[in-house]
């Protein structure tokens, strides 16, 4: 049995909503039933889905903190892209 990490599952779920579960499962090479199960777990448990089992489970505050840290990194990255685009367009206006 193959084990998939949380990031793979999250990306698979995202893809399933974009192209549909059947197409996503075909593209990823996983059974559509597995994808439906992951979607159900994500809907039921939110950000606590796919944290592992037994002693690997993390408390909700830690999970929330990790989620917020990830969001900060995403926003900082988007901010950097916007700054570069602004500099590019400002430079092109000078010419």
Q: Would you list the domain boundaries of the chain?
A: 1-54, 58-95
* CA 25 – CA 33 distance, rounded (Å): 9
Report the b/e string of 30-39 with b at 16+ CB within 10 A. Answer: bebebbeebb
pLDDT tens digits for range 42-85 = 999 887 888 765 444 567 787 788 889 999 999 999 999 999 99
Report how far Cα 18 is from the mean position of its chain's Cα atoms: 13
Residue 15 is predicted with a pLDDT of 95
Residue 5 is predicted with a pLDDT of 86
Report how far Cα 13 is from the mean position of its chain's Cα atoms: 8
pTM score of the predicted model: 0.53
Rounded to 5 degrees, what angle do the CA atoms 46, 73, 85 make? 125
For domain 1-54, give its CATH number from 1.10.3470, 1.10.10, 1.10.260, 1.10.8: 1.10.10
* CA 34 – CA 42 distance, rounded (Å): 12
Residue 33 is predicted with a pLDDT of 94
Residue 41 is predicted with a pLDDT of 92
């Amino acid at each position: 049995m193959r084990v998939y990490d949380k990031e793979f599952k999250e990306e698979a779920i995202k893809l399933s909503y974009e192209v549909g579960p059947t197409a996503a499962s075909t593209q990823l090479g996983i059974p559509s039933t597995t994808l439906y199960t992951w979607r159900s777990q994500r809907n039921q448990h939110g950000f606590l889905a796919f944290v592992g089992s037994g002693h690997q489970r993390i408390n909700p505050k830690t999970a929330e903190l990790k989620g917020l840290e990830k969001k900060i990194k995403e926003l900082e990255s988007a901010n950097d892209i916007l700054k570069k685009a602004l500099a590019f367009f400002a430079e092109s206006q000078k010419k």
